Structure 1
Amino acid sequence: MSQARTPPAHRRRTPEGGGAAIIEWFVQPHDYEWMTEFQNSHPSGKIIRVIVALSLINISGMSAMSLFAEGGPAGPFGTTLTLLLCASNLAIAALWLLRPFPGRLGVIAFTVYADIGVAAALAVLDLRNALLGCVVFAVIGAFATFFVSPRWVVAHLIFAASVVSTFAFLLYLRGDMDTITLLVQTDVVLIGIMSVPVTSHIFLTTLSADARSSALDPLTGLLNRRGLDAAISELWPQGRLEGQCAAVIVVDIDKFKAVNDLHGHDEGDKVIRRVADRLSGHLSRYGVLGRTGGEEYLAVVITSRLHIDALIHGIRRALHDSNDAVPVTVSVGAAILYAESPLWTTDSDTVSTATRAADSTMYQAKAAGGNRVVTTLI
């Protein structure tokens, strides 16, 4: 199950201005895990994998055809290298089609492979064809724009520009192309492979960060109500499809006002973050978790019938530690749906019904003195 991750507690600050924005973009962390989870859970992920695979197949086909073209690979070494690259491209294309979207190491390794592979394939061509063939780096740049960190985007651009410049310099030394034509062709290739990735990556990174932050609670990094609504709508049907149990759980910190009154709001914020971290560690692998109020959290979990009670009743132990600077207890209310629950087959808003039931049981736990769990079957 996916779970929103807590953003860094401190964000690197830079002076205002365009240059500062570029520096901030370059040094920021890239959330490979979120990207992988999104691509593997969203229909667009399959489409992207198919597009990458088809691009590799197309490049393999063009490389094979170049063996018979004027200015193509010459000699045993060039022919062997081209055939090896064609075979490896087809093998990697199969992996893109058959395997889930790769994680951090996978996308970085693919970007590096693509850069080196293209450079090697072009190096055995005639220099004129090699220079024009460098436009293929634009395809790799498009992949890097969406799936790797700013540092790897810049590394790709430096490598691609170095390859283009090398081919252009060798052509200049060969002396069979006039200098103006050579400069124009080199400039066109460089613009084609370098103009889009950085600007697009900055825009997409900013847009993605804004989109995710709008669904997150800024204090804890957990989902807020808006984020929960979207996450629950994707998670909830799994309980019925997989024949497991679903539970909506409401957790409220006992006597939290006294924490603020006695220890101050800064310490209160620490308590809220600490409870969020421990609750996430206990529940997040089974579903989604959010902060819905000042000291209130809501989780929706999917697990087996044998495990559901232990998971819910284990929350108090997971959150309380007498050695904390400010030890706290919690009141927990949970509404549980077994696979045979009639609510799965009604037209009513099951999630809302379960949430109201969980909220009611949480207040029962609080009214009974707190530091307890109350559950109900619906």
Structure 2
Amino acid sequence: MQASLKSFAGFSSHLRDWWSEPVDYVAQVQYFTKRSKSGPIQVLIGMGTGFNGVLSLLILLPSARTPASQIAVAVFAVLQLFWGWVWCYRPWPSRQVSLAFVGSADIAIAAVAVLDTNWLLGLFAFNAFAMLSVLLMFFDGPKVLTGHIVWILLVTAAFAAEVSIAADMDPLAVTAKALVLVTPVVMTPLGIQLGIWALRNDANESVTDPLTGLLNRRGLHLHIGELLREATPMDSEVAATVVDLDRFKAINDTFGHTTGDAVLIRCARRIASAVRNGALVARIGGEEFVVVDLAGAGHARQRADSVRHAIAAPADPPITASVGVASVTIASFAAEGVDLIALLDAIVERADQAMFDAKRNGGNATIHVASIDGSG
């Protein structure tokens, strides 16, 4: 019994975290963008939306039995065709535009369902609602999805009551039965979204450093392919920058580990702010960090110096860093049969050696070694 109570308490905490976590819409879109999937997904959403508009004109409009219903179907069809064009031919919508799409569709679908006691219209409306639920399940948060589900249940109740009255049946009984049958179906996307959230969090924890929030070594390995896919004609090298804080043990010994952790977090933030947005930034040891990024010829040393200067900016307690840089051509990563992880580890190791040379020379310095070839 006690174990069950603890399990329930843990699940309740899990639910609260899921419910209260802010929606990072951009990050969720970028997840698919980095994997070259956002374009096809966008087109599929647009085609599905436009197809609904065409079906509405060809099948639903002739089936509508009242002028109000015909107007509702026509408006819905026009909206679907418009949004289909937006999804197919415009950049991926912002969250505000996405919510406008869902909100306008929810209202139009409700009108199609409740302005005519036509089972064909009701079935079509339920399917259209389900398509929107799938979109929200992947690209928005639990609050918006819950609001959408509540709206579906209200429309279902209204449709069931109208149909039962038209058929001279008990509207309360019919509506209750309809809700009992429909609720588990419409609630399913919410449960799936919770599962996706939990899996995503577990995956993030396995590739990130718990103290600083940066990648760990496994995360560095996992994301190198994504970094290479971002390469532009201006980029000619993959540069690895190894950063080791100077005399960090003295900070722990003098001020304590709590202050030492605060220094690590401060340095992590400064490193991340000093590099390009798409750069991979990781903590791979106690006070050792790695930045892996694309660079034009001759730019790697300049970027490494920017990181070193950012760390050494005035702060209490002050700290400096020794920095080593090594690079390899992008062509080496693209060579047939190359092991991306092994090559990445080779340039990180070379940069690590350069960092130790900088530390032996007194620290607060950057050493850039010559580029290595793909063989390491």
Q: Same fold (TM over 0.5)?
A: yes
User: For the Cα contact (< 8 Å) 2:160–2:174, is it kept in 1?
Assistant: no
Q: Note the residue ranges of structure 1 that are not aligned, 5 or more in a row.
A: 1-13
Root-mean-square deviation (CA, aligned residues, Å) is 2.8
* Aligned equivalents of 2:230, 2:109: Cα separation in 1: 43
Task: For structure 2, list consecutive stretches of 5 or more residues without a partner in the other structure.
Answer: 1-6, 372-376
2:19 equivalent in structure 1: 26
* Corresponding position of 1:354: 347
Cα displacement (A) at 1:114: 2.7
Q: Distance in 2 between matches of 1:216 and 1:182?
A: 49
Aligned ranges 1:26-105 → 2 under 5 Å: 26-64=19-57, 65-69=59-63, 72=64, 74-75=66-67, 77-105=68-96
The residue number in structure 2 matching 1:117 is 108
Offset of 1:15 from its aligned partner? 8.2
Query: In the aligned structure 2, how far is the partner of 1:158 from the partner of 1:104?
Result: 20
Q: Structure 2 CA distance, aligned partners of 1:169 and 1:298?
A: 63
How many Å apart are 1:148 and its aligned residue? 0.9
Question: Any idea what the Cα deviations from partners look like across 1:3-30, whole Å, max 9, x if unmatched?
Answer: xxxxxxxxxxx98155444333322233
| Residues 244, 146 of structure 1: alpha-carbon distance in 2 compared, 3 angstrom cutoff | same
In the aligned structure 1, how far is the partner of 2:121 from the partner of 2:366? 70
TM-score by length of 2: 0.85
Mean alpha-carbon deviation: is it higher for 48-57 or for 342-351?
342-351
* Paired residues of 2:239 and 2:294 also in contact (CA < 8 A): yes
Cα gap change, 1:41/1:100 in structure 2, threshold over 3 Å: closer, same or farther? farther
> Are residue 188 (structure 1) and residue 194 (structure 2) matched?
no
Given that 1:336 and 1:377 are in contact with CA atoms closer than 8 Å, whether structure 2 keeps it comes out as yes
Give the drift of 1:111: 2.6
Q: CA deviation at 1:219?
A: 0.4
Aligned partner (choices 195, 198, 211) of residue 203 of structure 2: 211
Deviations 1:119-153 (A, max 9, x none): 13324333555544442222222222222111111
Measured in 1, the distance between the counterparts of 2:21 and 2:238 equals 37
Q: Which amino acid aligns with 2:265?
A: R
State the percentage of identical aligned residues.
Answer: 27
Residue 239 of structure 1: how far off its partner (Å): 4.5
1:16 paired to 2:9: yes
1:148 aligns with 2:131: no
* Residue pair 1:127, 1:167 contacting (<8 A) in 2 also: no
Q: Per the alignment, in what secondary structure is the counterpart of residue 102 of structure 2?
A: helix
Q: Distance in 2 between matches of 1:351 and 1:236?
A: 11
CA pair 61-190 structure 1, distance change in 2 beyond 3 A: farther
Q: What is the CA deviation profile of residues 96-123 of structure 1, one whole-angstrom value per residue up to 9, with x for unaligned ones?
A: 2334544433433333233223113324
**Range moving further from structure 2, 213-222 or 36-45:** 36-45
Name the SS of the counterpart of 1:297 in structure 2.
Answer: strand
Are residues 45 and 345 of structure 1, via their aligned partners in 2, closer, same or farther at CA, if it must alter by over 3 Å?
Answer: closer
Contact 1:35 1:147 in 2 (8 A): yes
> For residues 344 and 365 of structure 1, do their structure 2 counterparts lie closer, same or farther at Cα, with a shift above 3 Å needed?
farther
Give distance in 1, aligned partners of 2:307 and 2:62: 68
1:368 to 353, 356, 361: 361
Q: How many residues align?
A: 359
Distance change (3 Å), C-alpha of 1:240 and 1:357? farther
State the TM-score, normalizing by the size of structure 1.
Answer: 0.85
Q: Check conservation: 1:132, 1:189, Cα contact below 8 A.
A: no
> Aligned partners of 1:352, 1:22: CA distance in 2, in Å?
39
Greater relative contact order, per chain length (Cα 8 Å cut-off, separation 6+): 1
